[in-house]
């Protein structure tokens, strides 16, 4: 399942929509605190793709030693600015910065990363709001590749609020209708559990965790994990052995990462609509 191709399709279709409504400037703002290299790369890619989609993008960068007050006032300024529609605070923030206090300042309409407690509450309650981009990107991949979820058994490996927990909610909610098991580091005999699954979503951050013996023939395997090794970026899935067994599989890189960006941009256009700044 080719995430790069789907991301390019999403970007092209957003561009068309934005160009068709020529008066509307859709703006994504990012906040980056500190000098974490992967975060710098992620933010740069998000801006590049936002511009390709015809969006305006703003970037606020603060030093590694920025104070809580400085980070909060940067986010508050973007929250109060009517020309900004989506706000993304790149995580992780440096140690010592209270993440929750920062996220609390993002209004739910502008929370295009879907990570604030109000967005999470909306997802749980089935109300309109933004859904975290990575699990949303996984759903889009499954959907676009025609992977049936209804009545299927899914295992999600990882229980973070960023990926695993919202993934479980999305797969299990009405309309998607998978029967979902949430696995984590205390799960016993993960391989046997996964072998019973039609769909495996691996989001543990442990290189090569999912091997061929985890996968039943023709199962769908989606790799979210990212590990930086001497050999480059690798996922949670041992791609070479698993592709021999799986019916569908994502590469890493080139699978869920680009879909995360595609969904961030979709959320940003949705944010502009929610705020009445873009025609419905
Ligand atoms: P996280 O907060 O560290 O959570 C990892 C989860 O995996 C935890 O729930 C942990 O269990 C579980 N886990 C760890 N080792 C395990 C094992 N051996 N067996 C079963 N479960 C295990 O990480 P995260 O933020 O969710 O991110 C997960 C991975 O996805 C990371 O590699 C991250 O870089 C990547 N990521 C990718 C994208 C993308 O666009 N592709 C986006 C975001 C994140 P416990 O709860 O028991 O500790």
Res 114 pLDDT > 80: yes
Phi/psi region, residue 218 (left: phi>0; alpha: psi -120 to 50; beta: rest), is left
Averaged pLDDT score across all residues of the chain: 97
Domains of the chain by start residue, with CATH: 21-109 (3.40.50.10860), 133-257 (3.40.50.720)
Q: Which of 42, 91, 161, 163 to mutate for ligand 1's pocket (most ligand atoms within 8 Å of CB)?
A: 163
Task: Give 207's Cβ-side CA count (13 Å radius).
Answer: 9
Q: How confident is the model at residue 115 (pLDDT cuts 50, 70, 90)?
A: very high
pLDDT in tens, 54-88: 999 999 999 999 999 999 999 999 999 999 999 99
Q: What is the mean pLDDT of residues 119-123?
A: 97
Q: How confident is the model at residue 139 (pLDDT cuts 50, 70, 90)?
A: very high
Q: What are the CA-CA distances from residue 69 to residues 6, 8, 66 (Å)? A: 39, 38, 8
- As a whole number of angstroms, the distance between CA 167 and CA 120 comes to 12
Look at residue 27 in the predicted model and tell me its pLDDT. Answer: 98
Q: What are the CA-CA distances from residue 46 to residues 7, 155, 204, 212, 246 (Å)? A: 12, 29, 23, 33, 31
Q: Does the predicted model carry a pTM greater than 0.95?
A: yes
Look at residue 223 in the predicted model and tell me its pLDDT. Answer: 98
Residue with CA closest to ligand 1 atom 40: 257
Res 20 pLDDT > 90: yes
Determine the atom of ligand 1 nearest the C-alpha atom of 163. Answer: 26
Look at residue 175 in the predicted model and tell me its pLDDT. Answer: 96
Residues annotated catalytic, as ranges: 46, 90, 113
Ligand 1 and 5: CB distance under 6 A: no
Look at residue 160 in the predicted model and tell me its pLDDT. Answer: 98
Residue with CA closest to ligand 1 atom 5: 204
pLDDT in tens, 191-250: 999 999 999 999 999 999 999 999 999 999 999 999 999 989 999 999 999 999 999 999
How remote is the CA of residue 165 from the centroid of ligand 1, in Å?
11
Look at residue 250 in the predicted model and tell me its pLDDT. Answer: 98
């Amino acid at each position: 399942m080719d995430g790069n191709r789907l991301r390019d399709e999403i970007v092209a279709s957003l561009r068309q929509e934005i160009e068709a409504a020529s008066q509307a400037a859709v703006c994504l703002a990012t906040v980056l605190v500190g000098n974490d290299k992967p975060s710098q790369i992620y933010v740069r890619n998000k801006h590049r793709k936002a511009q390709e989609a015809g969006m305006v993008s703003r970037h606020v960068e603060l030093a590694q030693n920025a104070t809580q007050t400085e980070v909060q006032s940067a986010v508050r300024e973007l929250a109060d600015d009517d020309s900004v529609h989506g706000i993304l605070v790149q995580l992780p923030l440096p140690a010592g910065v209270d993440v929750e206090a920062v996220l609390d300042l993002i209004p739910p309409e502008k929370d295009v990363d879907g990570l604030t407690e109000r967005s999470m509450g909306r997802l749980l309650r089935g109300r309109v709001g933004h859904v975290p981009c990575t699990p949303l990107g996984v759903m889009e991949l499954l959907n676009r590749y025609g992977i049936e979820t209804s009545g299927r058994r899914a295992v999600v490996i990882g229980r973070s609020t960023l990926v695993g927990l919202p993934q479980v909610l999305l797969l299990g909610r009405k309309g998607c209708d998978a029967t979902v098991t949430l696995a984590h580091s205390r799960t016993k005999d993960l391989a046997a559990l996964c072998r019973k699954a039609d769909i495996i979503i691996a989001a543990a951050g442990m290189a090569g965790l999912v091997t061929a013996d985890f996968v039943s023939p023709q199962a769908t395997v989606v790799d979210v994990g990212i590990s930086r090794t001497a050999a480059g970026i690798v996922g949670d899935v041992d791609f070479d052995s698993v592709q021999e067994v799986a019916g569908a599989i994502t590469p890493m890189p080139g699978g869920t990462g680009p879909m995360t960006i595609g969904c961030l941009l979709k959320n940003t256009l949705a944010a502009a609509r929610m705020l009445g700044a873009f025609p419905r």
